[in-house]
Structure 1
Amino acid sequence: MKPIGIFGGGQLAMMLARAATKLQLKTHVFAPNASCPAAQTADQLIIGEYEDLAAITRFAKTCSVISFEFENIPVRSLFHLQNNGQQVAPSPRVLQIIQDRLTEKQFLQSCQIALSPFARIDQSEDLRAALTLTGLPAVLKTRHFGYDGKGQTWIRQPAEAQKALEYIHHHPAVLERGVDFVREVSLIAARNANGAFVHFPLTENVHQDGILQTSNQPAGCNGKTAMQAVAITRKIAEQLEYVGVLAVEFFEQTNGSLLVNEIAPRVHNSGHWTIGAANPDQFELHIRAITGMELPVPVCQPAQMQNLIAEQINHAPQLRKQGWTITDYGKTNIRAGRKMGHAVRVN
């Protein structure tokens, strides 16, 4: 088999390449930065821009299948490869839906999946009308390029509406009703082209300023709520004809019902506990899914994961002494909010 191609050179690509090696497969990574984390584990790193159709075409010819480690790959580039006979997994159609928060929510609505009330915001008049629908508090989110809390801001008083628009630079947006939730949870699952579907246990997550801080598995939900999460995730995967690993993030309400927050079409930060606490882990399952291998049902142990953000990476030696396993992403520049590594402890 030709190498697996991965767009993006961050820590997720680093761990995907490591998983491929375990399966005796090679990986080629395409990224704009030579000093990216994936350079440590990929068999070959190709430097280029995702918009350069000639460069990505040359890259794809060396690969059996193309995948990606983050959502902000230009979907036009992926459609270009697919239209020229290249296998891309997940499909460009999936990314086209999920890159835009509005089309993502419209897709979920079409599947009759519960989510918080929302409205499309193109101009300030839309926002005034939308606030009557959502009520307060509400969160204003840009339709594109938001992650780790970026591109979003809360509106708690009517007078804050104009300031919120200015904060997101008047980009096209969606307004969502704020959710009074018991906990945030995520379900990570894998599906292959034959429709085989496996999943990990529901994971409970804690965010601060929009950035994931900790994940605990199993989540503190009851069995009925966990089954609901599996059913919703499976429905999403089947409707998208999904191939690969995906994560669905939920809000659990006081009555135990779930609202979908968002879909991540890739391996996910809240699944990092699977390294060392699950066999296979999420990265191996993704490689298996996109290459048509069997998808074993994961055997899992309870575990905790904490992100090491910015200077927290300096706590790694102490955490090791406390029984945590550290994955250092090898990033040289520490800055506020940057994920430098993570720690996992099997309970």
Structure 2
Amino acid sequence: MKKIGVLTSGGDAPGMNAAVRAVVRNAIYNDIEVYGVYNGYEGLMEGNIKQMVIGSVGDIIQRGGTILYSARSEKFKTDEGQQQAIEQMKKIGLEGLIVIGGDGSFRGASKLTEKGFPCIGVPGTIDNDISGTDYTIGFDTALNTIVDAVDKIRDTATSHERTYVVEVMGRDAGDLALWAGLANGAESILIPEKTDNFESVVQKLKRGQARGKKHSIIILAEGVGNGVEYGKAIEEATNMETRVTVLGHIQRGGSPSGYDRVLASRLGAKAVDLLIEGKGGRMVGVENNVVVHHDIHEVLAKKHQVNMNMYNLSNQLSI
């Protein structure tokens, strides 16, 4: 293998740049030309592809977002769009592609592999909703962003004796909410995988109020519902002054944590190694701190499982 490409797709995640850096430098170390694809699959179809050198990825390991940019593409989901992308890669002579993103990005990589163009997936999403890996690139940084924000919110909640509902990202997965809720000592954590019924949350708030508790934090995963509506319902049911904070896209930005930089470097480098070995249709991940790889079809077929032991622990500690 003499020429490979790398792209980032879907929602940006802190650490994507560190992964791109690892891909580029490990490829060059192994005497392979590496080309950056700009604007995801949309850029791949348009031929927005440029060769990268060592200096192309200098001083980016600490930067959030992605220097290759990202875009969603409906056209690429079609056979016509996929074939157009393959033709663009053939013009340059690319022999493999590394795709950094989430499950939607991996579906594209899977389709290209089926059409004879080997791809390797690198899990980059703050949602931590990919099976076959304990952590995805960006999750740790987003988690720490939430923890810092909720710490600040708790100061205000304490000062004004209020209940706060904090809505966090995660799409259809509850990992961000669960980890943040446990780290912040939230009174209730609402996740798609195990949503407490509304009445149980209300009763917990009332029990706290009865023993003199004057403020509470409720962490709500976006996959459960709308934070503003939930906050209104809480206030009506408890007569407690309630405020809502929707953290939004602040969770995606910022300099990646040390953990995310190391994880991205390990996974990006391993993706190059797999292409050198002639393997395609794989996803790299980390399990029990060991870098592993799985068939990308199997990864897409399995649903990520939230750690229910942590959920139960959060309930025990928030009595």
Q: What interval of TM-score do these two structures reach, taking the shorter chain for normalisation?
A: 0.3 to 0.5
- More contact order relative to length (CA 8 Å, sep ≥ 6): 2
TM-score, length basis structure 1: 0.34
Structure with the bigger percentage of strand: 1
TM-score, length basis structure 2: 0.36
Structure with the bigger percentage of helix: 2
